[in-house]
Structure 1
Amino acid sequence: MRIIERTYPYIISIILGFIIYIFRLEINDIKNFKEILSAIVTFSAIIIAFLSTMVSIFISLTNSEVMKNINEAGGNGLLTSYIAETVIGGLFLVVFSIILFIFLDYKGNFSNLLVVIYISLFSFVIFSSYRILKISLKILTNVLNESSSDKTENKAVKPKINEAP
């Protein structure tokens, strides 16, 4: 199961890129490509900022039981790599989008290859973002459950002191 979790963003990206390559989709075939490029740059920036914020939240949760369990199970390296892969993929997507602005009117031999790379990068960022978001939500849910169980335990442990009148 973990192998699927690790590889599905790559596999889906490669499959989508292959499909685009087979159908010979080129830059000039995509309507409003300039607006799409701008929107994807904005989307990537939002994802990168969100992940950066999430890292700071994870750092603040290092003393929680959930994070201790993740560390003991060796999941901290995996969690870090998932975040890094998504951020790096997002940065590559932004840079490649900027490069594609140069080729907006390009109709040469490499137009299909540029679209294949772009769709593959975009799908990778989407699916790796989904993966880390899903994991982050599980961690957050566990931390919140841990926090609410601590409050319940604290209420049950505190004895009431009866004072004599």
Structure 2
Amino acid sequence: MIKFISWFYPLFISIIVVVISIRFDFSYTVENFDKVLDGTITFSSIVVGFLGALLGILVSIKDSAIVKSIFDSKEKHTLKRYFNETFIMGFLVVILSCAMHVLRVYPSITTKVIFYIWLGLTCWFIPSTHRIVNILMSVFFKTNSKDKNERPESNKVIEVNKRQSMKERLKK
């Protein structure tokens, strides 16, 4: 049950927000909506870039015990799903925000439908971003007693000469 909730709570939140917005007739005609769109584009772009960087970090520490245990478990598919969901939502939010910039000056039923789709995707994107960032930060900052003083296999340099030459290169 908890896994079901963790998979779908971003969608549930977005549905609730859209239903409330429709009920109270909230739409794109609100004053300064263009600034909301600008902020949404900026926020979504930063988050997608940040997630790309976190994914790069995850790959670079793939030899650590914690990351190995994730990739060896069935949760690997859940992590992949969360990443894909957040990336796709982020790109869709940016694309629809750009479309809303153009469409907001043409009041029509189509524009209103696109607005509610945009609102739903935006409200889906935010909790899904929180979920994946929370999971990744837990992975990055979690240490266990076995892993505290141990470097990942790909980061070990045993030869003294090679280690010294690396230190010298880094000083420059």
Does the TM-score normalized on the shorter chain lie above 0.5?
A: yes
Name stretches of at least 5 consecutive residues in structure 2 with no aligned partner: 152-172
The structural deviation recorded for 1:108 is 2.3
Name stretches of at least 5 consecutive residues in structure 1 with no aligned partner: 152-165
Higher relative contact order (CA 8 A, sep 6+): 1
Match of 1:132 in 2: 132
The structural deviation recorded for 1:62 is 1.1
Match of 2:40 in 1: 40
**What is the aligned-residue identity percentage?**
26
Conserved in 2, the CA contact under 8 Å of 1:13 and 1:123?
yes
Judge which range, 99-108 or 118-127, deviates more.
99-108
Distance 2:49 2:136 in 1: 15
Distance 2:146 2:110 in 1: 54
Larger Rg: 1
Runs of 4 or more, structure 1, over 4 Å off, are 143-147
Change (3 A) 1:98 1:61: same
Distance 1:21 1:146 in 2: 53
Secondary structure at the counterpart of residue 142 of structure 2: helix
Letter in 2 for 1:133: V
Letter in 2 for 1:119: L
Match of 1:115 in 2: 115
Distance 1:105 1:21 in 2: 20
Judge which range, 103-112 or 4-13, deviates more.
103-112
Match of 1:101 in 2: 101
TM-score by length of 2: 0.80
Match of 2:19 in 1: 18
TM-score by length of 1: 0.83
Match of 1:49 in 2: 49
Judge which range, 120-129 or 67-76, deviates more.
67-76
Say what the alpha-carbon RMSD is for the aligned residues.
1.8
Secondary structure at the counterpart of residue 148 of structure 1: coil
Count matched residues: 150
Distance 1:138 1:146 in 2: 17
